[in-house]
Structure 1
Amino acid sequence: MAVTLKAAKREDLTKSVTKQIRTNGDVPSVVYGKDKESKAISVNSIELVKTVRDEGRNAIISLAIENEKPVNVMLHDYQTEPLKDEVIHADFYIVNMDVEMDVSVSLSLEGEPAGVKDGGVLQQPLYEVQVRAKPANIPDVITVDVAELGVGDTLTVGDLPKADSYEVIDEEETTLATVVPPDTVEDTEEAPDDGAEPELVDASKEEEQ
């Protein structure tokens, strides 16, 4: 069931009015979709952040625009003000619940790999995967158990369990996680002699330059 988010229409798009909307605690936004006319709206900032935090980035939102029938949307993009870390604009995309779409879904690794217990280091080069699914079937997160990964083992997209409700569309050879051996040989070779002060020497050289 989609979570409801109320929205107001924006008729006046001047900068002064847009600024006042933000001052009032709302976020100037746009809602659009395939073969749909885009509309300027505003939503409550607190409600928007709460919705995304509680429901997830790919949540289906029932956008209730004043005096109109609610439409199912997803938060397509948003902009923030870096200094205040506040949302200053949002884009909502109208979705067709019967049509598949491609989205990014977070990847979470679960468990401590056997290789890490043996001294290896777990590396995760990819934190999101591309998923194709109908809007209602998009997972909030894909969790993978990596407890059995040993030193030198690699987990790829092709190793992910197949799901009936969605498809991961990244290349099967794409690395998701790997356990690499500790680089003890190079660490020993690069270790400075006792009494050496390479950092101070480097600092001196930089000052002379």
Structure 2
Amino acid sequence: METGTIKVTKRAIVNSRVNKKLRKSGLLPGNISGKGMESISVTVNESELRKGITSHGKNAIFNLSIDEGNDYTVMIKDIQISPVKGSPVHVDFQRVSMTEEIKAEIGIKFKGIERIESKRLLLVRQIDIIPVKGLPQDIPDEIEVDVTNMNAGETVCISDIVFPEGIIPEIDLEQVVVSVNEPKRADIETETDEASEVENEL
């Protein structure tokens, strides 16, 4: 697995007023934490962080280069988002070892949604992420679930998904991930009425 590199700087002063100034200048406050170490407060360039995630993925392994010469192998544990502006306000990095399992969350990518829609069926997503554990270098950003050949009344559970080798789901195996349903009668009648109105206008 390719490792991304992100330069961070240690923070000497930690308070909300300083954090606000940092964000205005394009920097994000954050911290590095991990087993057997004290948390380190840092700042990271928001643009550089975005580029790293775009290039390598949110669950990628990153090498954090601190200006004093110390490097840390980390994964992004969490990015806090402002509920008002929708922009990141804080990032948590988790120090990892390539030989120790960690817990993470992977996204779900559905393949074949257009086929479901062509059959006038409804795809109902029950969950958006799957908690898993495994070695850091084996954890993917997302897992693909193929719904192409699903019909009304069918479901996909966690137990139906083939995970990469070494990745173990940390969730009930009977948890429904997605189901396919027929649209409610009211939805069909609404679509029919709308179609009739268009025809009458023509």
TM-score by length of 2: 0.82
Q: Give, in angstroms, the shift of residue 110 of structure 1.
A: 0.2
User: Gaps (5+ residues) in structure 1?
Assistant: 189-209
CA contact (8 A) 1:116 1:150 kept: no
Q: Quick one: which amino acid aligns to residue 163 of structure 1? A: P
Alignment-mate amino acid for residue 94 of structure 2:
Y
Moved more, 139-148 or 79-88: 79-88
Cα distance between partner residues in 2 of 1:94 and 1:162: 24
Q: State the match for 1:67 in structure 2.
A: 68
Q: Match of 1:20, SS? A: helix
Counterpart of 1:127, as a letter, is: D
Q: Deviations over 1:77-135 (max 9, x none)?
A: 23334444432222111111111112110011101486654432221111111121100
Q: What does residue 26 of structure 1 align with?
A: 27
- Trace 1:40-189 onto structure 2 (pairs within 5 A): 40-112=41-113, 116-184=117-185
Partners of 1:116 and 1:15 lie apart in 2 by 47
SS in 2 for 1:51: helix
Seen in structure 2, the aligned counterparts of structure 1 residues 116 and 21 have a Cα distance that, compared at 3 Å, is closer
AA aligned opposite 1:37: E
Hey, what's the Cα distance between the residues in 2 that align with 1:15 and 1:106? Answer: 31
Q: Please tell me whether the aligned partners of residues 116 and 147 of structure 2 are also in contact (alpha carbons under 8 angstroms).
A: no
Q: CA deviation at 1:142?
A: 0.1
Deviations 1:143-186 (A, max 9, x none): 01111111111111111124313122321211111111232289
CA distance 1:152–1:38, change in 2 (3 Å):
same
Could you tell me which amino acid in structure 2 is paired with residue 123 of structure 1?
V
Is the Cα–Cα contact under 8 Å of residues 155 and 178 in structure 1 kept in the other structure? yes
Counterpart of 1:193? none
* SS of residue in 2 equivalent to 1:46: helix
In the superposition, relative to structure 1, how do residues 91 and 149 fare at CA in structure 2: closer, same or farther (>3 Å)? same
> How far apart, CA to CA, are the structure 1 residues paired with 2:165 and 2:82?
40
Once residues 15 and 120 of structure 1 are traced to their aligned partners in structure 2, the CA distance between those partners, rounded to angstroms, is: 49
Runs of 4+ in structure 1 deviating by more than 6 angstroms, as ranges, are 185-188
Q: Which moved more, 1:160-169 or 1:96-105?
A: 160-169
Over the matched positions of the two proteins, sequence identity in percent amounts to: 28
Distance apart, 1:20 and its partner CA: 3.5
Change (3 A) 1:150 1:82: closer
Task: Please list every run of 5 or more consecutive structure 2 residues that lacks an aligned counterpart in the other structure.
Answer: 190-202
TM-score, normalised with respect to structure 1: 0.79
Does structure 1 retain, via aligned residues, the 8 Å contact 2:143–2:163?
no
- 1-side partners of 2:134 and 2:177: how far apart? 20
Question: CA RMSD of the aligned region, Å?
Answer: 2.5
Select the structure of larger CA radius of gyration: 1
